[in-house]
Amino acid sequence: MSEGPIIDSDKCNGCGLCVSVCQCGALIMVGNVVTVIETKQCDWCTDCEAVCITGALRCPFEIVIENA
Amino acid sequence: MAIQTDFLKRSRYFFDIDLAVLDSIARFFFEKKAERGEMFLLEGETDEVLYFVVAGAVKILKTSADGKEQILNIARPGDSFNDAAVFDGDPNPAAAQAMGPVVLYGIRKGNLESIIRQHPQIALNGIKVLARQVRHLSSLIEDLSFKHVIGRIAKILLNYADDGTGTGQRLTQQDMAAMAGTVREIVGRSLKALESERAIRLDHHRIVITNKEALEKIMEAPL
């Protein structure tokens, strides 16, 4: 499973706000579309999801029980 | 640096204001830039400037004495902030921090009052902006005061956890907010609280339940 934010390109309006708040460089604009680059630097701060007004960007958490 | 009147038109303050009027008032605005993390308003200080976000995103927040942060809002392009301090002249009710590179337009209280006297429609628009902010903050207060949100978040984490059988479901903070009947800002706060209770650990894209019994107790705690 991908360990980067997930983009719904149908919902993305290309405003680029997520790219501007991303400090690890996981997100870039390709043309008018936000694209996720695979990176190990992403610390899952979820700021990109927080600023996305269309709900196109998602940072889902996997929920696990320790030692399950 | 020229102020873009096209941008002003996108702000709710200047909705339905003629372009000629915007051209005439543009000279009262100044541009300000900030980098990620920069605080350009401090809670409790006086800064009689109304800011408009032109590019980037700004976190509006309050910080408790022990350093806990509560995000009140995220201002995006077209949004204003520091409205209350500008209109009542009291200290800034919250701090503002750039979430990335940010471009702002600012207008000082005196200049804003002058243009409002000449163009009362801007005052009416401003009242609508303030009403919208009151609604948002009222909803936040309701969640913080009356709802046992942390218990609901605990329940969601227990219900959706993968117990090793691969049946867990991945959830965003927005998903959890919708399930718990709250807003995303409160979910972030609840997760941090659960982490400080040592019931969970935030590990990159994983929420690890480190103490299931503690989480169950929080879920069952009375309001």
Contact B77 A21 (CB under 8 A): no
The angle, 0 to 180 degrees and rounded to 10, between the axes of the packed helices B149-160 and B212-220 is 140
Tell me which residue range forms the domain holding B191: 147-220
Give the percent of chain B with pLDDT over 70. 97
CA distances from A28 to A7, A19, A38, A43, A58 (A): 12, 6, 11, 16, 15
Q: Is the pLDDT of residue B71 over 90?
A: no
A23 contacts on B by Cβ (under 8 Å): 36, 100
Residues of chain B with C-beta less than 8 angstroms from the C-beta of A14: none
Residues 6+ positions from B169 with CB-CB distance below 8 Å: A63, B160
d(CA B133, CA B56): 20
Residues B210 and B121 in one domain: no
What is the interface size between A and B, counted as CB pairs within 8 Å?
102
Query: CB distance from A62 to chain B under 8 Å?
Result: yes
pLDDT value of position B1: 63
| Whether residues B209 and B169 fall in one domain | yes
Tell me which chain A residues have a C-beta less than 8 angstroms from the C-beta of B205: 3, 44, 59-62
- Chain A positions in Cβ-Cβ contact with residue B160 (cut-off 8 Å): 63
| pLDDT-above-90 percentage for chain B | 69
> Residue A63's pLDDT is what?
95
CATH number, position B156: 1.10.10.10
Return the higher-pLDDT residue of B70 and B59: B59
Report d(CA A45, CA B114) in Å as an integer. 42
Which chain A residues touch B190 with a CB distance below 8 Å? none
DSSP conformation letters of B82-142:
-HHHHHH-SPPSSEEEESSSEEEEEEEHHHHHHHHHH-HHHHHHHHHHHHHHHHHHHHHHH
Question: Is the same domain home to B106 and B169?
Answer: no
How many domains does one find in chain B?
A: 2
What are the φ/ψ torsions at residue B221 (nearest 5 degrees)?
-60, 140
Closest-CA distance of chain B to residue A38, Å: 14
Chain-wide mean pLDDT for chain B? 91
Identify whether residues B59 and B125 lie together within a single domain.
yes
- For residue B80, give the DSSP letter: E
CA B23 vs CA A55, B4, B20, B123: distances in Å:
34, 9, 5, 18
B130 and B172 fall within a common domain: no
- What CATH number should be reported for the domain whose range is A6-58? 3.30.70.20
Q: Check whether residue B62 and residue B131 sit in a common domain.
A: yes
Domain boundary among B85, B102, B136: B136
Residue B126 has pLDDT above 50, yes or no: yes
Give me the pLDDT at residue B12, please.
Answer: 95
From B100, B117, B136, give the residue that closes a domain: B136
- Tokens found for residue B22: 């915007």
Mean pLDDT of B28-36: 95
In a domain, B141, yes or no: no
Predicted pLDDT at A1: 45
Cα separation of A4 and A10, whole Å?
Answer: 18
- Name the amino acid, one letter, at A45: C
Mean pLDDT of B192-199: 94
Domain membership of residue B54 (yes or no) is yes
Tens digits of residue pLDDT in A37-66: 877 788 899 999 999 999 999 999 999 998
Q: Is residue B203 part of a domain?
A: yes
Closest residue in A to B99 (Cα–Cα): A21
Same domain assignment for residues B154 and B132: no
Interface test with A, best of B33, B136, B205, B213 (most A CBs within 10 A): B205
Q: How far is CA B172 from CA A46, B32, B102, B180, in A?
A: 9, 33, 26, 12
Q: What is the pLDDT averaged over residues B21-47?
A: 94
Same domain, B76 and B169: no
Q: What is the pLDDT of residues A19-43, one digit of tens each?
A: 999 988 899 998 888 998 877 788 8
Quick one: average pLDDT of B102-115? 97
Of all residues in chain A, the one with the smallest CA distance to B71 is A50
CA dist., res. B191 & res. A38, Å (int): 26
Burial of A3-16, coded b for 16+ CB within 10 Å and e otherwise, reads ebbebeeeebeebb
One-letter amino acid identity for B22? Answer: L
- C-alpha distances (whole Å) from A60 to each of B33, B172, B206, B208 are 32, 4, 9, 13
Q: Residue B212 is nearest to which of A43, A50, A65, comparing CB atoms?
A: A65
Both B91 and B23 in a single domain?
A: yes
B118 and B205 housed in the same domain = no
| DSSP per residue, B128-144 | HHHHHHHHHHHHHHHHH
**The CATH number of the domain where B96 resides is what?**
2.60.120.10
Q: Are residues B9 and B48 in the same domain?
A: yes
